[in-house]
Structure 1
Amino acid sequence: MNSKYSTWHHPYSPVKPYDKKVAYFSMEFGIHQALKIYSGGLGFLAGSHMRSAFELKQNIIGIGVLWKYGYYDQSRNKDKTLRPDFVEKTYNFLEDTGIEVKVSLHGNPNVNVKAYVLKPEIFGSVPLYLLSTDVEGNDYLSKTITDHLYDANETTRISQSIVLGIGGAKVVEALGGADIYHLNEGHALPAFYYLKDKGIKKNQFVFTTHTPEKAGNEERDGHFLNHCGFFGRKLTENELAYETVNDSKINYTVSALRLAKKANAVSKLHAKVSKEMWRDYSNTCSIIPITNAQNQSFWQDEQLKQSWVKKNDKTFFKRKIELKKELFAEVVNQTEKIFDPKVLTIVWARRFAGYKRADLLLYDFERFLKLINNKDYPVQIIWAGKPYPHDKFGIDIFNNLVHISKSYTNLAVLTGYEIELSRKLKLGSDIWLNTPRITREASGTSGMTAAMNGSVNVSINDGWIPEFQKHGKNSFVLPELNHNLPVEDQDKIDAYNLYKILEEEVIPTYYKNPKKWQKIVYKAIDDVIPSFSSHRMADEYYKKLFK
């Protein structure tokens, strides 16, 4: 063991604007394909943040969990439907820091938590301290706490929050403590309670809320959490009553907003939605917008970048064809279908949640068939994404798309949606399709990295899109509708607007006016960089949240 990595250490001296010591707690980090401790957008966001923090020489460390089986490996059954596999991961590039702390769980005061470190030189990020309970001396159940990211068992999920929050806070103490403790979403909430009892002041706590979705704003019975050890000690009935809301529940987001000095939402629109969501709760901190972003050096293809800088249409187009061929090699490998690099390729790829509406294109099936069978303006469509392994609704949508796609040579559903496949899809697509129900997508970042690589966003005007879009100039955006309408009405209106835009604007522009299409592609890259690069975001966190 190299002992210098068991202290707060960077391979550089942090620069002056960024010298404040920040511990960034996140349930998942998408740092690299090989480190499978992420499920989707939250992890991709955290990974880009840690990369930009490293490139900007910021004094940040990441605190996460070393998930033994990751999220899951996305495989197929005999009929090509989704099969979640859980395969043990062994990361020889991680280093044992020698730091081991104890947390109290369900009356057991001696659950051991070991910290491993991902050193900066491995994947170009700030140091990442990853916690594991798969430690000698722990009983069997304790060892399994860090097995599965977002475990389906409620007691295990609570234990994971305690390990990340209190275990993580104790690891930071062992590293010398931090000036700022930043919770990236509410999963690590126990850290705030533990640190508060240790005398850490409110002005050292900041919080990022990532979603208006109920599932992303955990709420659990306060008495049960107290029994589990969630607060770092047993709260009295009066103390517990002060913390609970909604019939003796602890809402992780409400508690974080009350304990933090300041919080941020992840887009300007999300800040408005968040303020409205939490306005009836007393003693919450202010919520400011800091729009999510992605790391340009990690996600943008270098040859596309050079062609964009020089505005060289010929080399840009040539490289795009090469990248489409690389993506289509994956398509033929998985689906036995040969896609044509000259054909307009639409991709829908992201975390497979119901509100994101992966199947919106199929709403009017006759019209969908007309779209995909148009010989004058051919299209190819690829879907990819990981449903939560216990989300029957999301898995049903995925499997239905698999079954339908079998009958058509220009439709494909890909498995293995992780960083590398995400990269291939962004580099090889012409259209990046984004179809959430409006106000439900807090930010969404996949369209940013797609735009960096010449894929044009066709999107609902939600999340980050209102800050970026110029319809017909850098993207194509569906008309906004009233989000209070019944979801059936929203789906019908959005589907018909989507067909109209594709049929009348997007597809004809691609085929009949390639010069205009290339202008849209360049304008999208111009507008996404640097405004939606994570250097801007990492800088804003120091200036607006950590200050």
Structure 2
Amino acid sequence: MSFTNYNVPYPINESYKTKVAYFSMEFAVHQPLKIYSGGLGFLSGSHLRSAYELRQNMIGIGILWKYGYYDQARNQDETLQVTWMEKHYSFLEDTGIQFQIIIHDHPVWVKVWYLNPETFGTAPLFLLSTDVPENDYVSQTITHRLYDANVATKVAQFILLGVGGAKLVDELNFNPDRYHLNEAHGVSSVFYLYKKFGNVEDIKKRLVFTTHTPEEAGNEKHDIYLCQKMSYFCGLGLDEVRKLTGIEDDQFNHSLVALRFAHLANGVSQLHGVVSRLMWGKYPGVCPIISITNAQNWRYWADKQLYRFMEENNDAGWDDRKRYLKRRSFEIVADQTGKLFKPDVFTIVWARRFAGYKRADFLTRNKERFEKLLSNKQYPVQIIWAGKPYPMDYPAINEFNSLVNLSKKYNNVAVLTGYELTLSKRLKQAADCWLNNPRVPREASGTSGMTAAMNGAVNFSTDDGWIPEFINNANNGFVVPKGDYARMNTQEQDDYDLNKIYDMLEQEILPLYYNQYDTWRSVAINGMRDVRFRFESGRMANEYYQELYK
């Protein structure tokens, strides 16, 4: 196919004819394409799938990571081992496009690969790589590891996504009406566009931005002199950069610059929109921030048979299917850990990216109540943990390893490795209860519970991210009532949440599951119905066109 005057290769729905180039550091479109780390990728993967289903005029622009994020393996004692395996993808097409960009005052060759929409049912996805023989070794390593720990390499990756992505759009002659930055990693594109258009107005009317980070410290900042040295500003002098961006100190704040160059931005839940407006409102020149709540692709994630039994009001069929899904998932538990879990035992799953505020080991912090929960004969429980810590986040890796060591004492506790799309889906099918206990309001959206609900798991969560828009307590899930968090220190907040979680498990959730299973099933089914109605990514992809790209 021709990539010289590129058009999206399927008929466009008239409602979605605005041309959009969608930049993201990671895309989780399907298990075989391992170029993602967590929630940001799951979100952009679902977005591309729904864009395809709705026939939207959108292309994705990302990076082809040679070693992916990393492969999660085990040491001899079952603790976490970070391994780097080279990836090969026969299903990606060589576009024949190769061009140069400047990184660190040095021309770097960029090669472009293409994921055809028909391959996995997504909007077209272009992936940039510097791993070509024309580049020196250092330049080749730019696209080796997603979120490389080396600061200079990371800045180079941001330049590749932003400047390289914007240049690719020109190479394709795609001429987008909107450049959509999914997180601020690609904000270097604004300096490329400034050189192209010669003014800020032309950038502003085209640029929109999605922020995912609900606290200032979590937003990427880099030394402005390092950025200058790395050619981040496309040859602009620092005085001009400061004038254009309004950055006065020596920290280049990527999100703040994105908010100043975009004409509109969005947070990824109603609550996150509120938090973001408060957080960024004190800075001058920031664009309006609306809310478009994240969602996940039903066609990819949901168990269709569970839905069919739900629609037929076939309770016996639904129970039988859920039991089968649990049994099948427990084969993975047995394979990895040698433990035989039982499909008729209440199963709690905590699985997502390991990060401090998500409190992976939360249940274990009250040893007495944890012990009591695991040894309860009347209401037996099984617990599964899984998730990938960032490979250089040693506190998170220690947390993972301490859970592994703890699990060795119990036949009904398992910690799994290899948390990617396929295992994620299996664990959602394994779960009766999908546990989510971030420290409020640190979770911008936290979409894992959406896909859990699509597989018959009941959400049990602190009241953060998308949860306030979804859970009606004891009707379609369970939610920890918000405490007066503003007056609490971190320890008090943790104590409050943990006590509430245990109280609700012991007094409400476990008795309901074991003594009134019909009611439990109806909670799960209400969750399935509500999540499809309001948190399916078709709704989200439509809202992006109606509200952000308009």
Q: TM-score scaled to structure 2, two decimals?
A: 0.97
1:521 is matched with: 524
User: What CA deviation, in whole Å up to 9, does each residue of 1:42-74 have, x standing for no partner?
Assistant: 000000000000000000000000000000000
Q: CA deviation at 1:8?
A: 2.5
- The question of 1:495 aligning with 2:498 is answered yes
2:327 is matched with: 325
1:290 is matched with: 292
Match of 1:544 among 541, 547, 550: 547
Structural mapping, 1:445-524, within 5 Å: 445-484=447-486, 485-524=488-527
1:46 is matched with: 44
Q: Residues of 2 paired with 1:510 and 1:35: CA distance?
A: 38
Q: CA deviation at 1:226?
A: 1.5
Structural mapping, 1:85-484, within 5 Å: 85-108=83-106, 110-176=107-173, 177-199=175-197, 200-214=202-216, 216-240=218-242, 243=245, 245=247, 247-484=249-486
Q: Residues of 1 paired with 2:533 and 2:104: CA distance?
A: 47
Q: CA deviation at 1:245?
A: 3.6
Letter in 2 for 1:26: S
Q: CA deviation at 1:103?
A: 0.9
User: What CA deviation, in whole Å up to 9, does each residue of 1:360-397 have, x standing for no partner?
Assistant: 10121111100110011000000000000000110011
Tell me, yes or no, if the aligned pair for 1:439 and 1:483 is still in contact at 8 Å.
no
Tell me, yes or no, if the aligned pair for 2:359 and 2:439 is still in contact at 8 Å.
yes
Q: Residues of 2 paired with 1:172 and 1:305: CA distance?
A: 40
SS where residue 257 of structure 2 aligns? helix
Letter in 2 for 1:223: Y
SS where residue 388 of structure 1 aligns? coil
How many correspondences in the alignment? 544
User: What CA deviation, in whole Å up to 9, does each residue of 1:169-220 have, x standing for no partner?
Assistant: 1111111121110000000010122113211431110000011245641011
RMSD: 1.2
Q: Residues of 2 paired with 1:274 and 1:236: CA distance?
A: 28
Q: Residues of 2 paired with 1:309 and 1:210: CA distance?
A: 35
Q: CA deviation at 1:221?
A: 1.4
Q: CA deviation at 1:15?
A: 0.7
Q: Residues of 1 paired with 2:203 and 2:243: CA distance?
A: 22
Higher deviation after alignment, 512-521 or 246-255 = 246-255
User: What CA deviation, in whole Å up to 9, does each residue of 1:514-534 have, x standing for no partner?
Assistant: 111111011111211121000
Q: Residues of 2 paired with 1:264 and 1:8: CA distance?
A: 28
Q: Residues of 2 paired with 1:406 and 1:48: CA distance?
A: 36
Q: Residues of 1 paired with 2:217 and 2:121: CA distance?
A: 32
Q: Residues of 2 paired with 1:242 and 1:54: CA distance?
A: 36
1:13 is matched with: 11
Evaluate the alpha carbon distance shift between residue 81 and residue 215 of structure 1 in structure 2; reply closer, same or farther with a 3 A threshold: farther
User: What CA deviation, in whole Å up to 9, does each residue of 1:261-299 have, x standing for no partner?
Assistant: 100000000001001111111001000000000000000
Higher deviation after alignment, 473-482 or 144-153 = 473-482
Provide the identity percentage: 53
Letter in 1 for 2:27: F
Unaligned runs of 5+ in 1: none
Q: CA deviation at 1:536?
A: 0.1
Q: CA deviation at 1:5?
A: 5.0
Q: Residues of 2 paired with 1:384 and 1:538: CA distance?
A: 29
Tell me, yes or no, if the aligned pair for 2:233 and 2:241 is still in contact at 8 Å.
no
Q: CA deviation at 1:311?
A: 2.1
Q: Residues of 2 paired with 1:229 and 1:216: CA distance?
A: 24
SS where residue 529 of structure 1 aligns? helix
Q: CA deviation at 1:165?
A: 0.5
Tell me, yes or no, if the aligned pair for 1:23 and 1:63 is still in contact at 8 Å.
yes
Letter in 2 for 1:174: E
Q: CA deviation at 1:326?
A: 1.1
SS where residue 183 of structure 1 aligns? strand
Any runs of at least 4 consecutive aligned residues in structure 1 with deviations exceeding 6 A, and if so which? none
Q: Residues of 2 paired with 1:537 and 1:405: CA distance?
A: 39
User: What CA deviation, in whole Å up to 9, does each residue of 1:456-506 have, x standing for no partner?
Assistant: 000000000000110010111101123332211111111100000000011
Evaluate the alpha carbon distance shift between residue 540 and residue 457 of structure 1 in structure 2; reply closer, same or farther with a 3 A threshold: same
Higher deviation after alignment, 237-246 or 156-165 = 237-246
Tell me, yes or no, if the aligned pair for 1:166 and 1:191 is still in contact at 8 Å.
yes
Q: Residues of 2 paired with 1:454 and 1:517: CA distance?
A: 11
Tell me, yes or no, if the aligned pair for 1:346 and 1:429 is still in contact at 8 Å.
yes
